[in-house]
Amino acid sequence: MTESDTYFRRWTTWLRHSTIGRRFWDKKFLHYTWIGIFVSILNIFLLWLLIDVLGIATVIASIIAVLGTFILRYVLLDSFNSF
């Protein structure tokens, strides 16, 4: 085992046992993280689709995309009981 492997193992062990580290390894946080990433990418895609492809006005397209992803985020977080 190399020195960097040993350092990484010590660091992850410390992170898992520290107060704040336990929150990062919590299942709820992982669900919150991937849902946040998914919704952000979906928001960008929807804005591109609505504005550039469909030619909808920017203000209206932004309202549709943001409200849609806001509701989707709630539904996904509620389905995983991540509140």
What are the pLDDT digits (tens) for 27-78? 777 888 889 999 999 999 999 999 999 999 999 999 999 999 999 999 988 8
The verdict on pTM exceeding 0.95 is no
Among 72, 62, 10, which residue's Cα sits nearest to residue 39? 72
Angstrom CA distances, 79 to 25, 32, 52, 67, stand at 20, 11, 32, 18
Contact status, residue 39 vs residue 69, Cβ threshold 8 Å = yes
> Cβ contacts of residue 6 below 8 Å, gap of 6+?
none
Going from N- to C-terminal start, the domains of the chain cover 3-79
